[in-house]
A and B are shown apart, each in its own frame.
Chain A
């Protein structure tokens, strides 16, 4: 007993030492790889953010909240939040306390990597360490917390519905090895520390174990066996870690500052994207989130499986997944590591088109289109391509503008130039840029100061890519809400129950959730959908998906309608021509456009749209 304390070494530490060395080495290499793959400009940007005080503060806060406390997960699901933060924070605290103890009592042993981890094995409870009973208590306390988290994790693995998950990820073999070794670490630690608690001291968790063990098998050989098992579990976990989903633990430490630096996704698996791929914890939240999940065959197309295929360089499957996605962004908005799922897919599509499209675009015919002179007193209204198939929208928008006395001009009366977003989503970035350029010229030269847009798809690209100078782009939900607030529209409340559907590009895409709801509250009684706002379910009509067939979109639409009609609204209201058209096919209640809803309830109009 004495010798182990004096020697401060025992062969059982070797698995752990191997594991920790391996994992640190691997992570350093991966870090190097990610940094090298960044474009020079991005690298500069990242480096700069690391020395900016405000960014440092934000990074630290995010690291603490996301990696250790899992604040985002807590907000979403308390059980899952507790499960993750108990293990992460508990483990972190155990490591920290181990080091504190070493620093306090045997600072000369601190250089040994394994010493703080196996502190209890190499320590004897003496006068000097007796003062540490406070630390003993803390250690046992956090061990208890971790064990409770592990228990939840085991329950979750076999009964995921208990923690509110319908589907959970199918794990790979290495993931399973990682998982089981992780589960094993803490019970083994409990037993191992229990063995030595008689000598090294312990608290409410370890002392009872020590008492039990002491009475049944007090042979000293068993002590080493228990510590061997504990070290082996640790070593196994750390050795397989880089090849499992647990890689997200170290990777997130890199991802958070990179994301905070505002780096864009530029490649399908290099640089920033690689950091993201490493950071995917395979939690499977994206599986339940995906609107395509209504059909079982689409489960394999969830973001978690895209990440897995990208990591394995399975190009064929990655491409299929990238092209099938609706790009609704729901998985990304729920993702714990804020995986830019749409960005990676878009990068894939763009790379694919660049390589393989042999039919270069020719938009020279657009040169003949001359800008309209509108004048700054008028609002320029861009209805968009889709709206010519939903005349109710452009007509209602014009009626509302007339009712409010707003002078306006239509930008695309005789055929429109597409906004470019469908091209962008198809991966034809340069081609989209040509349309953006042309539209920008037409808009800026028109002299108008306000560009009114009634299509959520157009609105998003106008906001994100156009950089219009001297022109405010405004979605009709915002603009009409302003008109209502300014008292320029007199509306009556029909007291009908309405449910509002957040179009993907408007809600998650541009963050507009409140304006339409405020305006609709003036004309009817809003009832909530089952899932709404950030979690709204795509209508299924999205131009984002390239390969999804018409017959496979129907179940998505029906699923979305089911979500909307959970509280039996009398009408469904949306603010996107594509949603309107898609829902209209299958909805059991009338589907109205946002502007149409206002027109129906205009005081002066007496319910007459004809």
Chain B
């Protein structure tokens, strides 16, 4: 009988790592707190940089779960150390004794209502990037009449001490540009603004997407962080920012505003970290043994990481790290105990 490995979090990282572990001859026990596997990827419509549909990435993974025991709607009740093993108790009453645990707990989208000055939850026409993705996925038009101007606000809950997130969320810049392009493809007559602090187009083809947004779609990029949003009687929004390159403040009337919510540490992560006695960084993400040399390995025997539990990452980075984590677990389990 093959050895069990517990994988906590059934997003892309957890699924991919489970598949790799299975290929290496282990029996992964994959635990997901939501009713379905797939994490945020299951909600997303299309992916940057080339606009592939998210389900074309996720579906093959979900169809390949043979040999993986997975539990949805399940959380971790407790984890205890017993000699060189971990005893993991699940909320469904089951428990497992394993030598290795993979924490692929992912991220939470930053709660936009925390940036109250943007009026999310107060103004109807302020939505989040995830809600826009829902619309795209449903194929539904924006529910508001007469949308002529929309704005994307970058760095909502990213690079923001006041929001408690100092880190850059890495993916929002390119997501905003992707969504801006998609919006223009659907509604070419709408004027689209992107309010950014720095455009971090770091990945392959990201810059191409940026160029496309400028050249083909005429997306208007304004270098300035939105400071406040007000609303008139008809529900139109007034967005205030400074065009820092021009050096003058702006006040633009908008029909819709999309907040690019960044990645915040997932809710239960610190609790799990406490259960297995590993440190949580100042930013709330998990801390690997070496952020450069051993990003998948925790500073504690038998605990491994994959994906955004250790900080914002793109999908390909997450999948790559999941494979790397599976290999790291394999090597750990095959190395005879030193004690």
Contact = CB atoms under 8 A, between A and B. Distances in A.
Contacts of A584: 114, 116
Nearest to A610: B124
Contacts of B164: 585-586
Contacts of B121: 610
Contact of B162 (A388, A392, A585): A585
B211 interface: no
A302 to B, nearest CB: 28
Which size bracket describes the interface of A in this complex?
10 to 19
Interface string B111-152: 000101101011110000000000000000000000000000
A471 B229 CA distance: 31
Contact of A391 (B114, B122, B162, B163): B122
A391 B229 contact: yes
Contacts of A365: none
B122 A609 contact: yes
A463 interface: no
A390 interface: yes
A392 B117 CA distance: 9
B153 to A, nearest CB: 15
A390 B162 contact: no
B116 A581 contact: yes
B49 to A, nearest CB: 34
A390 B116 contact: yes
Secondary structure dominating the interface of A? helix
Nearest to A586: B164
A609 to B, nearest CB: 7
Nearest to A580: B116
B34 interface: no
A391 B124 contact: no
B231 interface: yes
Size bracket, chain B contacts:
10 to 19
Nearest to A393: B116
Contacts of B229: 391
Contacts of B117: 388-391
Nearest to B232: A413
B236 to A, nearest CB: 14
Contacts of A390: 116-117
B66 interface: no
A41 B163 CA distance: 51
B161 A391 contact: no
A158 interface: no
A584 B162 CA distance: 10
* Central interface residue in B116, B123, B161, B163, by most chain A CB within 10 Å: B116
A388 B231 CA distance: 11
Interface of B: 114, 116-117, 119, 121-124, 161-164, 228-231
28 contacts: A388-B117, A388-B228, A388-B230, A389-B116, A389-B117, A390-B116, A390-B117, A391-B116, A391-B117, A391-B119, A391-B123, A391-B228, A391-B229, A391-B230, A392-B122, A395-B122, A395-B231, A550-B162, A580-B116, A581-B116, A584-B114, A584-B116, A585-B114, A585-B162, A586-B164, A609-B122, A610-B122, A610-B124
Given A395-B231, A584-B114, 16 more contacts: A388-B228, A389-B116, A390-B117, A391-B116, A391-B122, A392-B116, A392-B122, A395-B122, A550-B161, A584-B116, A585-B162, A585-B163, A586-B164, A609-B122, A610-B122, A610-B124
